[in-house]
Amino acid sequence: MIVGIRDGLKMFGVAIVSACAVFVCTFYLNYYLDCLAIRGSVPAESIQLYEAQQLSAKITCAIAGGALALIAVVLVAFYTGLFVAERSKTIGVLKAMGYSDGKIALGFWVFGLSALVGTAAGHALGYALAPTIYSLMSDGFLEVPLRYHFELTAELVIAPTVLYSLVAVLCAYWKLRAPVMTLLRGKAEKAKTGKAKNRERSFLWEVFFRTPSAHKALAFFVAFAGFCFSTMLQMSWSMKDLASVTMGVIMFVIGVVLAVTVFLLAMTSLTRGNAKTVSLMRAYGYNFWEYGNAVFGGFRPFAYLGFGIGTAYQYGLLRLMVDLVFKDVGTMPAYSFDVGAFFVTLACFIVVYEAAVAYFTYRIGKENVRKYVSE
């Protein structure tokens, strides 16, 4: 069949996002379930901390885990559509031979294997770090014994794998409904229209604005990368006062891993999809900065928009935790927006983002124009 086990295991973005989501949910939900078993033995002086930690676990899993799970579903759909587009001619041949859309689409169940690898790794890591997390969350007032809950394994590992496999099959079926001749011809490029007397400057601006509109999913991923970088890094600065240095380090690592993974996915796909355009632009004399800004520059507003939304999100979430969830816990310190952390994170983001764009501009500029001369 057109889709093999190796194809299903190549979706690194799905695996990493799934691992991060399940990692967070594992120790929070496990802590929640273990706390339920000791409710009757919680001392009166610790009951407020107990209830606050229970609510904190539910909110964190609902917001963080739910959001990351949704992003993983979007990634599965994106990878599926990309795979169908790249193998359209082969798929067209299979359909011409009599294979039905449903039969071909069923082969895409293997895309769920990446989710299985990611969720299993995140689940195992969550249990490995659970003793440390339990100690930090209990704050020395609660003794919560760590126990294994199979229902969590079913909900956080098995269920997502089935869900992502189903999403891949449904997305593939939707994409495969195209006529056989359309698939055999491959993805046809739209004819470019415009006045013959357009100036060079207007052409560059046309590429600048049209590239994001033609790659809406990639624009979303770039914005999400900025969101993750902003949210998790700024929140990690606050954790040293609100929780612990260890929790801050965990959030920092998760934020960097998510941001880098999603951004690399977007930029790699964008580089591959615009290699021909840039090669032709180079042949016509456009320089490094012109074609780089034309292809990648239109995504810059999305990156900084995501960063801004992430800043507001992390501030609102921490205010919710401090002012509502832990308002009756006397040991919880006051929280205010950390201006210094914001500017340091913004400076780091600008340096990392612009350096990455320069690198991918260099990569896309290395494409050999000769391969496109005959097209």
Residue 330's closest CA among 139, 35, 48? 48
Where do the DSSP E strands lie in 170-270?
none
User: Does residue 91 contact residue 84 with C-beta atoms inside 8 Å?
Assistant: yes
Measure the CA–CA gap between 342 and 372, rounded to whole angstroms.
45
Write the single-letter amino acid at 271.
T
Structure tokens at 48: 């407020």
3-state secondary structure of 107: helix
Given a cut of 50, whether residue 189 has pLDDT beyond it is no
Which pLDDT score is estimated for 308?
A: 94
Given a cut of 50, whether residue 216 has pLDDT beyond it is yes
Summarize pLDDT for 252-274 with one digit per residue, the tens: 888 888 888 888 888 888 887 77
H helix runs in 139-243, sequence order: 150-153, 159-175, 180-185, 200-214, 216-242
Q: Can you say whether residue 194 is alpha, beta or left, with left for phi > 0 and alpha for psi between -120 and 50 degrees?
A: left
Structure tokens at 230: 């902003």
Residues 6+ apart with CB under 8 A from 193: none
Given a cut of 80, whether residue 173 has pLDDT beyond it is yes
What pTM was estimated for this model as a whole? Answer: 0.73
Summarize pLDDT for 69-118 with one digit per residue, the tens: 778 888 888 888 878 877 778 878 777 887 787 888 888 888 888 889 99
Structure tokens at 229: 């970088």
Q: Can you say whether residue 195 is alpha, beta or left, with left for phi > 0 and alpha for psi between -120 and 50 degrees?
A: beta
Phi–psi pair at 334, nearest 5 degrees = -70, 155
Phi–psi pair at 366, nearest 5 degrees = -85, -5
At 367, the pLDDT band (50, 70, 90 cuts) reads: low
User: Does residue 266 contact residue 218 with C-beta atoms inside 8 Å?
Assistant: yes
Which pLDDT score is estimated for 279?
A: 77
Given a cut of 60, whether residue 187 has pLDDT beyond it is no
Phi–psi pair at 35, nearest 5 degrees = -65, -35
A 10 A CB-CB count for 285 gives 8
Q: Which residue has the higher pLDDT, 217 or 193?
A: 217
**High-pLDDT (> 70) share of the chain, %:** 80
Which pLDDT score is estimated for 282?
A: 76
User: Does residue 303 contact residue 229 with C-beta atoms inside 8 Å?
Assistant: no
Summarize pLDDT for 119-159 with one digit per residue, the tens: 999 999 989 988 887 777 766 566 778 889 899 899 899 99
